[in-house]
A = this chain, B = another copy of it.
């Protein structure tokens, strides 16, 4: 499908001017109540039409007995009624010439044969009427640019930002969203829950987000792949332009079986999926949601490194050793520091201290204190032309390492925003949390583990390498 046509078709999901909520409820314990309430709480500016044959008014809005009885155009219908009733609602939507539906209800292909039949029936009506479908079995859409959502889970006040999430799961996306909002420094542009993907799938949404000016990074939780060839083409086209990070579960036989009963997903050979990621420049995370966020945070806050030469500045020798181990695992090299850099650091250190990379700043710390030791060493390595990126390892030991003013440290880092800086903190949690907030507020990502810290930096480097390779290949082909 040409990209403009696709954009036209999917626009109703993200920017509907009028939306019907089928299954809206006055009962505050029902999903249909939460859904409507989210739209009202977020002050969505489009027109909202609750649909419920047993109510005249819900949350102050006039309710309609069915979609086709709404006396206005309807761009999008959000359906949250028991699965067996959904075909009837689809018929109403068809009459009303609705452009798209988000089916939140579960009880479809994830429930075995009977559910699969129901899903097919729904899809048939949709195809015949030119209605695009997201779901079923999902929380659907959140668009932070216009405060629109189809989620039936209560959502927190979000922060707008450059990251879009696509998730093939409903409740997880809701809980994950709360986790993101309450722990992550980056903001969100769109969230798309795809559920069973009976119609709209990842490929189309990725293509749509590729054109979305608010989205710079696309993070995906995926269980199954419906159209592998198309996904491959889209990833190949989009990943070199906007980083795509994918967490794909159902990697093992046991996981794939569990996935079948969760979203009705068919297993994909994991090695093939891995190869697809490599060839398209996609960053695949192997872990779970934690790693997806670790890596997403890196892309959201930091530039790509120009090369793979890392300077490790550390207050703990052990931290330096572990960082060195992790760098090697990710194809990162410890930079050979310039003589000038060494001199800048050595100048202030006791004569007995030796200095190399990892830069153990403990002797400097003893000589000039915590803040100065960090400032001097970071400034020196950031100015070093042999250094492409920096890992800083610092600790909080109350009384010993007095409260330092992280703002002054950030000022130093900000002078060289072209070089990624990653931080690992350890020590007294209260201080670690405080410093983390201060640093991340100014876009310097902090990790509570060296492994996770350098894994995230390694992802930036891997992406940079793959992108260059792809762009070169494209130049040759075209």
Contact A169 B318 (CB under 8 A): yes
Contact B328 A397 (CB under 8 A): no
Residue on B nearest A112 in the bound complex, by CB: B354
Q: Inside 8 A of A319's CB, which chain B residues have their CB?
A: 172
Q: What separation, in Å, do the CA atoms of A175 and B400 have in the docked complex?
A: 10
Q: Inside 8 A of A255's CB, which chain B residues have their CB?
A: 321-322, 324-325, 328
Contact A426 B175 (CB under 8 A): yes
Residue on B nearest A453 in the bound complex, by CB: B288
- The DSSP consensus for interface residues of chain A is helix
**Could you give, for residues 310-335 of chain A, a 1 whenever the CB lies within 8 Å of some chain B CB and a 0 otherwise?**
00000111111111111111000110
Contact B156 A317 (CB under 8 A): no
Q: Tell me whether A259 and B321 are in contact in the complex, defined as CB-CB below 8 angstroms, given that A178-B397, A254-B328, A334-B254 are known contacts.
A: yes
Stretch at the interface among A234-242, A244-252, A339-347, A459-467: A244-252
**A306 contacts the other chain (CB 8 A):** no
Q: Inside 8 A of A375's CB, which chain B residues have their CB?
A: none
**A119 contacts the other chain (CB 8 A):** no
Contact A398 B156 (CB under 8 A): yes
Picked from B176, B325, B428, B450, the residue with its CB within 8 Å of the CB of A156 is: B428
**A183 contacts the other chain (CB 8 A):** yes
Stretch at the interface among A355-363, A407-415, A435-443: A355-363
Q: Inside 8 A of A117's CB, which chain B residues have their CB?
A: none
Residue on B nearest A449 in the bound complex, by CB: B290
Q: What separation, in Å, do the CA atoms of A397 and B327 have in the docked complex?
A: 37
Picked from B153, B316, B325, the residue with its CB within 8 Å of the CB of A397 is: B153
Contact A111 B352 (CB under 8 A): yes
**A429 contacts the other chain (CB 8 A):** yes
Q: Inside 8 A of A289's CB, which chain B residues have their CB?
A: 322, 426, 449-450
- Name the interface size band of chain A: 35 or more
**A228 contacts the other chain (CB 8 A):** no
Contact A154 B354 (CB under 8 A): no
Q: Inside 8 A of A153's CB, which chain B residues have their CB?
A: 397, 400
**Could you give, for residues 242-283 of chain A, a 1 whenever the CB lies within 8 Å of some chain B CB and a 0 otherwise?**
000000011111110111011100000000000000000000
Near B by CB (< 8 A), chain A positions 100-156 give: 107, 110-112, 153-154, 156
Q: Inside 8 A of A321's CB, which chain B residues have their CB?
A: 223, 249-250, 255, 258-259, 262
**A287 contacts the other chain (CB 8 A):** yes
Q: Tell me whether A360 and B451 are in contact in the complex, defined as CB-CB below 8 angstroms, given that A250-B325, A255-B325 are known contacts.
A: no
Contact A254 B325 (CB under 8 A): yes
Contact B429 A182 (CB under 8 A): yes
**A448 contacts the other chain (CB 8 A):** yes
CB distance from A194 to the nearest CB of B (A): 12
Which of A356, A397, A452 has the most chain B CB atoms closer than 10 A to its own CB? Answer: A397
Picked from B263, B318, B320, the residue with its CB within 8 Å of the CB of A317 is: B263
Q: What separation, in Å, do the CA atoms of A170 and B397 have in the docked complex?
A: 12
Contact B156 A354 (CB under 8 A): no
CB distance from A63 to the nearest CB of B (A): 22
Q: Tell me whether A175 and B451 are in contact in the complex, defined as CB-CB below 8 angstroms, given that A251-B325, A324-B254, A356-B261 are known contacts.
A: no
Known contacts A255-B324, A290-B449; 9 further A-B pairs (Cβ under 8 A)? A112-B354, A154-B397, A156-B428, A172-B318, A172-B426, A249-B322, A249-B325, A252-B324, A258-B358
Which residues of A are interface residues toward B (Cβ below 8 A)?
A: 34, 83, 107, 110-112, 153-154, 156, 167-172, 174-176, 178-179, 182-183, 221, 223, 249-255, 257-259, 261-263, 287-291, 315-329, 333-334, 352-354, 356, 358, 360, 362, 395-400, 426-430, 432, 448-452
User: Closest 7 CB pairs between A and B?
Assistant: A255-B325, A175-B395, A262-B317, A182-B429, A169-B318, A290-B449, A252-B328
